Amino acid sequence: MELLQIVMTGITAIILFVFGLENFSKEIEKISGDHFRKSLSRVTKIPILGVLIGALVTAVIQSSSATSVITISLVNAGVLSFKNSVGIIFGSNIGTTITAQLVAFKLTAFAPLFIIIGFILSLIRSRLSIFGKTIFYFGFVFFSLNLIASSLQPLQSNKFLIDILTQQQNPFYAILFGCLFTSIVQSSSVTTGLAIIFTQQGLLSLENAVPLIMGANIGTTATALIAMFNMDIAAKKTAASHFLFNVGGVIIFFPVLIFFGNRLKDISLEPAIALANIHLVFNVITSLIFILLIRPFTKIIDMILGEGKMDFDRLTLPVFDENAEFSTIRETFIKDINNMLFFLQENYNVVTLSIYTNYQGIFDAAAKRIEYLYFVKKEYLSYFSKVVTSVKEEDESKELIRIINQFDYLFQIHDSIDDMFNTKKIMLKHYIELKSDILMLTQDLSSQTLTLFNEIRKSLLNNEPLDIKKKSQELQRHLDDANKDLLSLLADPVRRDAGALTNFITYSQRLKDKLINFASARRIVEAPDKE
């Protein structure tokens, strides 16, 4: 009965630890928001910098799984290239060793202090209150580790259990167990934290603990492998590199473990500290080896999964150069405006296809394109804030403001397309399917709107005048006809698809108005007057 109580208390403490770790990671991501993603997306082609960023981010959020999943999503969105993502993946394993170090050196004793500070901060009304939950969960993570240690302390007198855990076992089985357990809890920090506590308690020998944490490195890739489904080839390569990197590290060190594992008991350091240091050295050396072999490693991934292509072409993101002439900046903007308008036209086409078809692949493609353009929008807003401060001449400032307004119209067009996509989400949520008459109506509006897109793009590219009033009246006539057709259908309670399409027509009206506004402001993309 006493043993059952100890086991139940231990399991409860482990659950609290997992809960605390998960919420701490979420709070960090919530606070950092876009800055967190940008710290990953701005990684350069220098692999070591990617390693440092991966290590730093993982050390902060205490989850290599979270870092890898976010990295894969950024690759999938086209924000990161596969080759630039590999360094981050390597560094994430180093960052996750921080938990082991804190536990080994018994710095978890300060956990109650962090819980109290976090609780007080969350109550007071100030800017610091946003850090309250983060600090609270940071303390909660290590408080739960202390709780695990104290709940397992009675097991130190259980000779049978100690004999099993301290006698040297087959390292292959320990690696397999560490891999499976980590796959279940989806955090290598949980496995390493528990291994160090068991070692501190004298319940687990160092020889058995080392292969356990090696297996945890493989198990933590399970989340990334799951996340890569329905993603493009570049994202799949990143997930595969995470898995092969961790498996490769274990393969490299496994012979060392076989030949020198029995000598681990001769280490003079306290077992828990020795385990934390071995964990750190293992991950650092593995990362260094793979950085040196990064080119052949990425080539192997390319050979396995193929070169592949992005599922859609990404836009060229603006890069601020304080020495650039305004005329150069202006020409670049003109090109970017045309490219973005075409990208939005493709987005609209994919979104409307997702509305009047039931193909999951089209829906997923639309979601990915919309998410990507939100990232592009943030990049341009950041770029504008820098360019504005660098322009000194009054004429140039006025021209820049007109250009920014043009981009603002494009972003408004994007918002309307996103609203249409949300209409499809609602339809899916409520299992609404469009009947043939509504389908024809939707296709007609889509065709007319795409024609307007084409006409505006053609006039911009050829620098030709566009009869905006005529084009606006043509599309408006189709919108008015669609509204009339819907009135009779809305009276029928069975026709749920008619109600769903009402929103689509509303958003189509807004989109038409924004396109006309954009076309009306087209003078900013005309060539400057020659003196």
pLDDT tens digits for range 150-171: 776 676 566 665 665 556 678 8
CA 428, 29, 425: angle at the middle one, nearest 5?
Answer: 10
The backbone torsions φ and ψ at residue 124, rounded to the nearest 5 degrees and listed phi first, read -75, 150
pLDDT per position as a tens digit, 29-41: 666 555 556 555 6
CA 351, 42, 20: angle at the middle one, nearest 5?
Answer: 85
CA distance 76 to 235: 5
CA distance 126 to 70: 30
Residue corresponding to tokens 């999951």: 360
Task: Judge whether 504 and 423 are in contact, CB under 8 Å.
Answer: yes
CA 441, 446, 450: angle at the middle one, nearest 5?
Answer: 150
CA distance 276 to 196: 7
Residues of the chain with CATH 1.20.58.220: 326-525
The percentage of residues in the chain with a pLDDT greater than 70, rounded to a whole number, is 84
How many of the other CB atoms lie within 10 Å of CB of 520? 12
User: What's the mean pLDDT in 272-276?
Assistant: 87
Looking at residue 525, what is its pLDDT? 43
pLDDT per position as a tens digit, 465-511: 777 778 788 888 888 888 887 777 776 777 777 777 788 888 999 99
| CATH number attached to the domain at 326-525 | 1.20.58.220
pLDDT per position as a tens digit, 414-445: 999 999 999 888 888 878 888 888 888 888 88
pLDDT per position as a tens digit, 388-399: 888 878 888 888
Structure tokens at 439: 């389908």
CA distance 447 to 200: 69
Alpha helices by DSSP H, listed for 96-232, are 97-104, 111-123, 132-152, 159-166, 171-185, 188-200, 206-219, 222-227
More confident residue, 23 or 515: 515
Structure tokens at 144: 């739960």
User: What's the mean pLDDT in 103-127?
Assistant: 80
The percentage of residues in the chain with a pLDDT greater than 90, rounded to a whole number, is 11
Task: Judge whether 80 and 69 are in contact, CB under 8 Å.
Answer: no
User: What's the mean pLDDT in 15-30?
Assistant: 72
Task: Judge whether 85 and 233 are in contact, CB under 8 Å.
Answer: no
CA distance 443 to 446: 5
